[in-house]
Structure 1
Amino acid sequence: MDANKPIVTLIKMTTRVPSFFLSLFLFKAFFSFAALASQAQSNNADIPKELVVAARGMPEIWAEQVGKQSCDRYKLPEQHDLTRGFYESLIACRALKAAGIDTRFKFIAPPSHARAIRMVEEGKVDLLSESAWLSDSNPELVYISDAVVREGRFVKGLYALKGHPILASETPEQDYKNYRAITVEFWHHDKQALKSITDNIVYTAQHNRAHEMLLAGRADYTLYKFAEQENLETNVEGVPVLPVQGIKVALPGSRHFLVNAQKPYADNLTKALNKGLMILREEQDIEDFLGVSPTAVEDWILLNP
C-alpha cells in the first residue's frame, strides 16, 4: 500500500469540503431570491376579496348610495350632504382600487367612533374607513395609513343661529371675541381649536345639548364642518345654523385609516391604501372632497394660523 495515499485522500477531501458548502450556499441563495421575487410579484395577493370594515351608520348609506356597483364608478348626486364617514369610506375604497386591489367592503356599524377604533384594535374588523385622529391611534395595536386629512387641513366654521347679530358683523375676525362658544367636553380637537382663539367657552357633555344652549342664549356659536349647501347652511339637531362669514379655525392634528395589525395581510393592506391615497391626491384635493377644507372658504381668514 502506498504510504502517501492517505495524505492524497485527505488533500482531496479538504478541497471538496469548501466546494460543497459553496454549492449549498448558492443553492439556498438562489431559492431565497426566487422566493423574494415571487413575494414581490404577489405582494397584494393575500388581501381578501371582501374586507370587514367599521364605520358608523355605513351599512345602510353604502347600500343606498353605492349598492353593488364598483365604488370607483359611483357618482355623487348633484345635491348631497352625506356624512363625512361616507366620503372617507369612498376614499378608502377608491384608494384600494387605484392601487390595483379588487375588494369589496362589508360594513359593520359600531355604536360610536370610539367603539369602532376598539374593534380594529381588538382584531374584530379589518379596517376603520371612518378616519381617526392620529392622537387616538395606538401604533402598537394597529397599522396607521398615511394622512387622509393632513395637519391643518381640517377647518370648521363658527356657526350661529339664523338672525344672530354675529352673522351681520362687518369685522367678524374681531367681533367673535365678544360672544360665547360652545363645544362638547370630550371633543378634544374642537376644544383645543377654540382655546387657541378665545377663553369664552362653555362645555356640554352631549352633542345634542349644544342646540339647546344656543336656543336658550347660553352660547352664541359652535364649531361645525362646512356644509355642502351653497350658503353653507347646516343644522345642529334640526336647528338651522349659518357660519360667520369670512372666518374659520383649523383643528390640530391629522386623520388616518386604521388597519387591523393582527391580520397577515395588514402590512400589504396599509401599503395599498398609502399607494392609492398618493394616486388619488394627484387627481383631486381629498380634503376638499371630504368637505373638511372646501375651496369655498379657501380665502377666509384663519383665526389660528
Structure 2
Amino acid sequence: MKFIILLFLFSANLFATKQNDTPIIIKLAVTNSILSSYNKILEGKSWSELKTYTHPSMNRGVVEILLLHKAFEVSGLNIKFDFVIVPNHTRSIKYSKQINILMPTETVWLSSVEEEDFYISTPIISDGEYEKGVYVLKEKLSLYKIENLSDLKKLTAISSLDWTVDWRTLQLMDVNKQSTSHFESMMYMLKHGRADFLLLEFTSNDDLSREEYGVAIAPVSNIKIGLKGSRHFIVNKKHKESEFIYNALERGLKVLRDKGEIAKALRESGFQNKKTTNWIKIN
C-alpha cells in the first residue's frame, strides 16, 4: 500500500511539473508543402486565433497539425512544436523513429506502421471515410469526360510509391501510373502534360479546386475514389517522453472527438464534403 501511495504521489508530481508555465518542446517531422500551407493560413497569427477550418489553402495535413495543437491544449499540457522539415511523408515516418523526433505531424495509414516502433492513436479517419477526387489541370477540366473506370483507364495518373494505399488503389484499378517522391514534382508533371491526373482530398472551395506550387487543379465532377484503411497519429516509443505525451494526446483526442471537433475539422476543411456525397465511387 505504501508503494502504491508513493507511486501515485510521484505520478501526480510529474503531471503537475509538465503543466507548469515552461513548455515542453517536442520535435515533429513535417513536409515542406504542409508547413508552407500551415504558415500561409496562419499569416503570422497564433494557431489558437483560427476560428474555422475553412481556407483556400487548408488541407488534411494542416488540419492534423491544428488537431494536435488542440488535443495537447485540452489535455492540460503546455506543448511547443519544433518542426523538422522532411522531403516526403515516408521520410517523416522514418525520421520519427529517431530518438529526438517525437512524431510526424500527419496521421499515417495503420497498415504502414509497426506497434513495436510507435504508440498508435485511436483513428482520426476511420476505415471507409477516406475519399479522393480525380484532380486535373483546372484549365483543361472541360476536356475530361470521365464517367466510369473504363474512361479513367485511358489516362495516366501521377502518384508515389511511397503513398502505399494510393498506389495500391491505382494498381487494383489497373490504371496507367507514374511515380515521383515529391509533391512539387507531381504538379510539374501535370503542368507539362506528363500525367493527366492525381488523387487528392477535396477542399472547401466552392469549385473544390486548389492551387499547389502555382498550379491550379480541380476535380472531375461526379466521380470519386475510395481508399481502404484508417489513419492514426503515431508517437515514437524511443523518445524519452513518449508514453507520457502519448497518453496526453489520447486524452485530448477523446475530448475533441466527444465534442465533435474532429468531425467539424474534416467537414469544414472539405475533406468530408457534402458536395460530393452523391458522386459515384468508381472503384
SS at match of 1:179: coil
Deviations 1:198-239 (Å, cap 9, x if unpaired)? 323121335555456556666443212213321011246533
Structure 2 unaligned blocks of 5 or more: none
Tell whether 2:254 aligns with 1:254: no
Distance 1:237 1:268, change over 3 A: same
Query: What's the Cα RMSD here?
Result: 3.2
Deviations 1:232-264 (Å, cap 9, x if unpaired)? 112465333221212211222222222231234
1:269 to 229, 238, 245: 245
Q: Which residue of 2 aligns with 1:303?
A: 282
Tell whether 2:31 aligns with 1:56: yes
TM-score between the two structures when normalised by the length of structure 2: 0.79
CA distance in 2, matches of 1:163, 1:66: 31
Q: Which residue of 2 aligns with 1:65?
A: 42
Deviations 1:25-81 (Å, cap 9, x if unpaired)? xxxx2x123124335645744647223232223389459728574x44433586431
Deviations 1:88-107 (Å, cap 9, x if unpaired)? 11101101112222222222
Q: Which residue type is aligned with residue 178 of structure 2?
A: Y
Q: Which residue of 2 aligns with 1:244?
A: 220
CA distance in 2, matches of 1:191, 1:229: 26
SS at match of 2:120: strand
Q: Which residue of 1 aligns with 2:3?
A: 32
Number of matched pairs: 271
SS at match of 1:253: coil
CA distance in 2, matches of 1:274, 1:61: 23
Query: Does the 8 Å CA contact 1:248/1:303 hold for their aligned counterparts?
Result: yes
1:1-305 mapped onto 2 (5 Å cutoff): 29=1, 31-39=2-10, 41=12, 44-45=15-16, 47=18, 49-54=23-28, 55-57=30-32, 58=35, 61-62=38-39, 65=42, 69=46, 71-76=47-52, 79-161=55-137, 162-164=139-141, 167-168=144-145, 172-173=147-148, 176-177=151-152, 179-186=154-161, 187-196=163-172, 198-206=173-181, 207-208=183-184, 210-211=186-187, 214=190, 219-235=195-211, 237-282=213-258, 283-284=260-261, 285=263, 286-289=265-268, 291-304=270-283
Q: Percentage identity across aligned positions? A: 25
Greater shift, 89-98 or 213-222, is seen at 213-222
TM-score between the two structures when normalised by the length of structure 1: 0.74
Query: Does the 8 Å CA contact 1:133/1:255 hold for their aligned counterparts?
Result: yes
Q: Which residue type is aligned with residue 32 of structure 1?
A: F
CA distance in 2, matches of 1:259, 1:194: 29
Distance 1:121 1:301, change over 3 A: same
CA distance in 2, matches of 1:201, 1:269: 43
